[in-house]
Chain A
Amino acid sequence: MSDIKTKKRKTWKNPLAVWGAKGGNYEVPTPEWKNPHQIWKDTKAFKVPTTKIGRFHYEYKSSNHGEKIWNRLRWWPTRRTILWTQGVYNRKSLKPEKIRKDKRPIFWFLSLLALAIMPFILPDGYKNSLLTAGGIFGIYASINLCWTLVIGTAGIFSLATYAIVGMSAFLTTWLSINLGLPWWMLPMIGMFVGLAFGVIIALPALRLDGFYYGLLTLGLNELCRVFITTSHAFGAASGGLYGADTFINDNWAPMAQTLVQYYSGFALLIAALFLFRFVDGKRLGRILKLAPEKKEAFAEASGVNYKRARVTVFLISSIALGFIGGFYAAYYRGSAFDIFSFHTVIMGLAMITIGGIGRADGAVAGTLIIVVLDRVLVELGPYRYIIIGLIMMFTILFLKNGLFGIRKQFRDWRDKKKGEARSSRLERGGEMLPEQATEIDNKDEIYRKRYDKMQREFLKTLICDEIIEEHKQKPLGQHSEALERVCYYFRRGAMNDKYVVKCEVPFKKYKIMALSGVRGRSPRLVEDKIYDTVEAAYHGLFLRRIQDLMEA
């Protein structure tokens, strides 16, 4: 303040002087003050990096044809729509628009189409090896889809999936060799083998929970391996049992054989996807979604027999796994002991975890990644297992639920960051945040708040000892520019909590009150201090207002 006093005093020309009010001088001295336009310029010069606000501004919205916003294609004869489409009106232009609420069917269709035409677009040099890998991919993806049904939908942590497939493959191969069964019988018999094994394995699942069951099935896997490798009937010297009937004719051209292999694997994958869809998305899946882990008691109390549903899903997928086992036998003419090894279990777990446990797309994509690494990039040697292990490590360390959980994880992270940014911007003096502003319809209110905030920022710079002294000398009448601006602002304030002077005894006792701002509700007394003159009361009120301004 002292440096202002030493400066040469400015003067203020009173525009109201021409009306000749009493004491309305043409010119009065005023302390140093800042240009009121400066704060406007500062506010407009917004240096903080801004982000786009609002929701789904990036979502593609196709325009509508005419007025038919509700017209939809349906799968005949059901009421099921082909794509989940929602008609909306654009809030700005009021044009009708269509949003695809679920785009996954599009991606599924495109990727399966790509798999279907793969043999025709692959370069000749790699065709054979890639198509062979494609057939393996189809079989493994089907196994993993059934496994996803068990782990994800039924919530039974079974590691004996490959054991069921292997047992089915070995038994059907043995039957085919000894009884001469044709190839198309093998998957059928495999279904019965799978059912039998499913019943045996499901028994402990009723009593044990979670990881006890997982460890037990890991042991069962080992049991099957030891049984098969040491038994006289199955244990051949060649590392497996071969010689079953097959649907691939040796007399065909090599490329024709590969194509049949590829497309049969592809057909198996499609069948497994349908099974997944009809178990997970229909009644059984709905029941089990009501009974997630740790909420079984609630489901039971609501009359849901979740145990029965779990076992049913387990048995259905066991039958499917048995079918795949028989198919495997007919595909490879038998099976190797490798299918029971711990390594296969690790690879299978890698396939379903990389994509995301409990999701069909996760199981298929994870299988694709692992099969490409394992069977196509063979020249990497043992390093490919190290790469697979590193991908697994990356997945469990950084991703919440595999690759297909990234979307949700990213959104959660973005919302968290938004919340953090919002809380860091909260000290903006009552100005509205962009996120709030999108949700307020009266845009005048936003601008009023912004203007109010700017004005208070400016008025804070005007408050100094001189104007307080000036006000003390002469509460009413003509003031210097700085004081006049402050007073105008105070007088114009809102009615709620506005300070007023109350006269207790004329010319003797005055008090300060605050209005309630609500009709019919009486004002409240803000302090007990008694002022002797009305001028002193005016000044006390002025000081209170200044205090509120500086603290806000």
Chain B
Amino acid sequence: MNDIIFLIINGITVASIYGLIAVAVSITWSALGLLNLSYGFIFSFAGYGAWLAERHIYGEPVFVMFMGIAAGVVGGIMVCLLVFIPVHDKPNFTIRGMIGTLAVSLIGGQILLQNFGPKAKLLPEFFGYGKIKILDVTLTADKIGIICSSILMLTIVVRWMKSSRRGLEIRAMMMNPHAASIVGIGVRKTGIYVMAVTGAMTGLSAALLSQTYYLSPFSGLTPMIKGVSIALMGGLGSVKGAVIAAIILGFNEALTTKFLGGRYVLMTQFALIIIVLIIRPRGIAGILDKAREA
């Protein structure tokens, strides 16, 4: 029993990191109509930003984490300026935007490889090595920190989107981009806000993941693909759906590891996603009738 709880907590820890990217993918798609496949690059970029800050400026964990988020913001705005703003009003925007983000991740990954080399880097432990024991289950400070900071980030973003003027603009863009532009919401400006916020979420996930695993020029690919899968299962464009899907996939990961073995995690995960998508083609919380028309 303890094993299962341990694995579930593990699963939720991982899911909360991937969930951040999933929500980022989801918001970008629904607000901008951009399938951003360069989150892998933004992830590595933010990770290296945090690593550089830790090396050369100041090693305090909170500061390093903050610098990771800041680097993520910079990466997101960079992608927006390079791809979204030039392409968003051109024909075949969706496919061109997707290929553009792929090109950015290709170029960016190579530049990171040139500057930092293929050797993996490790960030310091942000949350120390403390342990709490609750009902026979040992929780490390690391896991609690990851879960709490992801939830905090997500809450801030959701509150910001619900209550601020900019959030209102982004939500209007999600509902109907054409009508939003008619009532005076600037597509480009909103694009920059959206990419900055989603970049910040990716930056946080990069900082959190790089302290447990490692950081390399292409280490963002797996988190991005997992995030995209979660976003797909939850329904592109739905924050709630992405959170539900992240939790379901976290449980799935834990249970598969326990009963079948770690090798089968991806298989059960994709079987689950395909079943969900065949039943509900737009994901758990996606709107059923109509896709977003960019």
Contacts and interface: CB of A to CB of B under 8 A. Distances in A.
A346 B101 CA distance: 10
Interface string A380-398: 0011011011101101110
A349 B98 CA distance: 10
A212 B104 contact: no
B86 A397 contact: yes
Interface string B263-294: 10011001001100110011100000001000
Interface string B202-232: 0000000000000000100110010011011
Given A216-B277, A342-B221, A396-B87, A386 B110 contact: yes
Contacts of B282: 212
Contact of A230 (B86, B95, B106, B263): B263
A274 interface: no
A389 B104 contact: yes
A211 interface: yes
Contact of A204 (B83, B105, B266, B277): B277
B225 A385 contact: no
Contact of A219 (B106, B110, B111, B228): B228
B102 A349 contact: yes
Counting chain A CB atoms within 10 Å of each CB, which of B82, B218, B263, B267 scores highest?
Answer: B263
Contacts of B111: 386
B197 to A, nearest CB: 21
A207 interface: yes
B100 A211 contact: no
Interface string B103-141: 111110011011000000000000000000000000000
Counting chain B CB atoms within 10 Å of each CB, which of A207, A230, A389, A390 scores highest?
Answer: A389
A346 B102 contact: yes
Q: Which range holds the interface residue count of chain B?
A: 35 or more
Contacts of A465: none
Contacts of A210: 94, 291
Given A385-B106, A392-B102, A231 B278 contact: no
Contacts of A386: 106-107, 110-111
A17 interface: no
Interface string B66-94: 00000000000000001100110011101
Contacts of A214: 35, 98
A440 interface: no
Contacts of B232: 212, 215-216, 219
Given A386-B110, A389-B110, A207 B278 contact: yes
Interface stretch (A220-228, A248-256, A276-284): A220-228
Contacts of A382: 110, 113-114
B85 to A, nearest CB: 10
Interface in A86-141: none
B245 interface: no
Contacts of B87: 396-397
Contacts of A529: none
B262 to A, nearest CB: 8
A231 B111 CA distance: 33
Contacts of B40: 342
A158 to B, nearest CB: 13
Contacts of A215: 35, 228-229, 231-232
Contact of B281 (A208, A226, A353): A208
Given A389-B103, A392-B103, A396-B87, A219 B229 contact: yes
B100 A393 contact: yes
A396 B100 contact: yes
Given A219-B225, A357-B95, A392 B106 contact: yes
A212 B232 CA distance: 7
Contacts of B100: 392-393, 396-397
B99 interface: yes
Nearest to B225: A222
B107 to A, nearest CB: 4
A400 interface: yes
A346 B92 CA distance: 18
A203 interface: yes
Contacts of B97: 396
Contacts of B98: 211, 214
Interface string A211-248: 11011101110110011001100000000000000000
Contacts of A385: 106-107, 110
A63 B60 CA distance: 83
B281 A218 contact: no
B240 interface: no
A342 B263 CA distance: 20
A27 interface: no
26 contacts: A203-B278, A211-B35, A212-B283, A215-B35, A216-B232, A218-B228, A219-B232, A222-B225, A230-B263, A231-B263, A342-B40, A349-B99, A353-B99, A386-B106, A388-B106, A389-B103, A389-B104, A392-B99, A392-B100, A392-B106, A393-B82, A393-B107, A396-B99, A396-B100, A397-B86, A400-B90
Given A210-B94, A216-B232, A386-B106, 14 more contacts: A207-B277, A211-B98, A212-B232, A215-B35, A218-B37, A222-B225, A346-B105, A386-B107, A389-B103, A393-B82, A393-B100, A393-B104, A393-B107, A401-B92
Q: Top 8 A-B pairs ranked by shortest CB distance? A: A389-B107, A392-B103, A389-B106, A396-B96, A389-B103, A396-B100, A385-B110, A207-B281
